[in-house]
Amino acid sequence: MPKMLQFSKFALRDLIVTAGPPLLLVVFLCALAYWLVDPFPPKVVTLSSGQENSSYEQFARRYAAKLKKHGIEVRMQRSQGSQQNLERLKDPGSGIDIAFVQSGSADPEHAPGLQSLGSLFTEPVWLFYRDNRDIGTITQLKGLRVNIGPEGSGVPGLFRKILSVNGIEPADLVLGELENTPATVELLESRIDALVFSSAPNAPLIQMLLQTPGIKLFDFSQAQAYSRRFPFMTHVTLPRGIVDLGRDIPSRDYQLIAPTATLVAREDLHPALVDLFVQAASEIHGRAGWFRRHGEFPNAGYNEIPVAPDAEKFYKNGPPLLQRYLPYWLANFFERMWVVIVAVGALLLPLTRVVPPLYVWRVRSRVFRWYGELRTVEHAIESASPAERATVHALQLERLSEIEDRVNQISIPLAFAEELYGLRSHINFVRQRIAALDGGEAPGRHADARLPA
């Protein structure tokens, strides 16, 4: 048994020496491809959301919960709103990977290195004012105290555009820059006359103001005209009774104008994270809502920033096939590495045909190289002159003994034992031939035979 194990050991060594270099090359190429493809995303991503109690902040929490199921931690950072989010994305030192950005906020020529993951939902412009005033047109806001939010949000720029198409200068109003929560308090305390939000209707402050006595919602009766003047806006209707059917709130339909909230990321965001965010967006925003039909959002619709190829593919074809049946990390690995897997398979196929013959050659070469020594011995006895024959024969017999001792120490797999025993018989054949020459007797019928060249 120890000898058998020794044979196996030597066979394994030959196999490792033969197949090792090709396998090391394959492993190196796989490691290089893995490094280049980088199939697994980072475990932490930073999302810039919005103000406290805003819809952006609420949705950010839902994204964090969705990605946590896949082992991705979403770190949220509050911001003033869309404009500050966009500035953070443009700044490589901000540490922000992805953020909510309102349509109309970005200038495509001044947003390099960014990609959109699609449009998520409409966020109407909500203009609330106290019911002691009758405001039917934007021009009637002249001279009033109107809070439009801090400059970091998307509302100030948006509202100034609304004022401009109505022929109103910002100086014609007293514009405030309070955040949403303190501005709401100021409106309820009658210290300001109106405030402007741009938000999804699920924001707590929107819900509260829609049901607060003494507070009215401005009806954008010219909503169609606004949507034609500003391509990033759409005309939406707040249906009667949508807030509370029992109390009939609101008591009539309201026409509103609405930009679209988009999810924007850096171009270097890992493609696997793009897939995860888009899939999470489909689950979060895909249902029917106040201003959308089922399945209408998210989509690759109007975006100032180019839509990421992976996101566009998802909107056209749905989730990748493998991700429907395999765990996310495994499906993602195969999706990112399939080219490498195919290439390795194509490389291993010829190797499986080359390595076995090399292995056989290496094992047999330990036996066949001694045939060269036997040919040398034969040449010596054939070329010896009659006077030198006795001395040469004696030396060659000693050489044959040395060769035989060396051959007896060869360890070889049992599958190749035939070559080893053949070599031993050929050594004995040469010895017998020398003995026959020394005895002056005619050699046997094989005496004139020659070893193969």
Confidence class for position 449, pLDDT limits 50, 70, 90: very low
Distance CA 267, CA 274 (A): 10
**Beta carbons within 10 angstroms of residue 401's beta carbon:** 12
Distance CA 364, CA 341 (A): 34
Residue 38 has pLDDT above 70, yes or no: no
Cα–chain center distance at 53: 32
| 199-234 residue pLDDT tens | 889 888 999 999 999 999 999 999 999 999 998 899
- Please name the residues in contact with 377: beta carbons below 8 A apart, sequence gap of 6 or more: 396, 399, 400, 403, 430
Average pLDDT, integer, range 310-323: 82
First to last CA, the chain: 37
Confidence class for position 408, pLDDT limits 50, 70, 90: confident
| 284-307 residue pLDDT tens | 999 888 888 888 899 987 678 889
Tokens of 178: 């309070």
Of 98, 101, 50, nearest in space to 266 by CA? 98
Distance CA 86, CA 107 (A): 10
Compute the residue count for the chain.
453
Give the residue carrying structure tokens 């741009």.
198
Q: Tell me, what's the pLDDT at 10?
A: 53
Q: In this prediction, what percent of the chain has a pLDDT beyond 70?
A: 86
Q: Tell me, what's the pLDDT at 355?
A: 73
Average pLDDT, integer, range 101-106: 85
Q: What is the DSSP letter of 249?
A: B
Give the residue carrying structure tokens 């303190």.
182
Of 159, 138, 161, nearest in space to 148 by CA? 159
| 140-181 residue pLDDT tens | 999 999 999 998 888 999 999 999 999 999 999 999 999 989
| pTM of structure | 0.66
Sign of CA dihedral 284, 285, 290, 294: negative
Burial class of 383 by CB neighbour count within 10 A (0 to 12, 13 to 18, 19+): exposed
Q: Tell me, what's the pLDDT at 211?
A: 94
Q: Which domains does the chain have, with CATH numbers?
A: 2-25+339-439 (no CATH), 39-118+267-319 (3.40.190.10), 124-258 (3.40.190.10)
Confidence class for position 360, pLDDT limits 50, 70, 90: confident
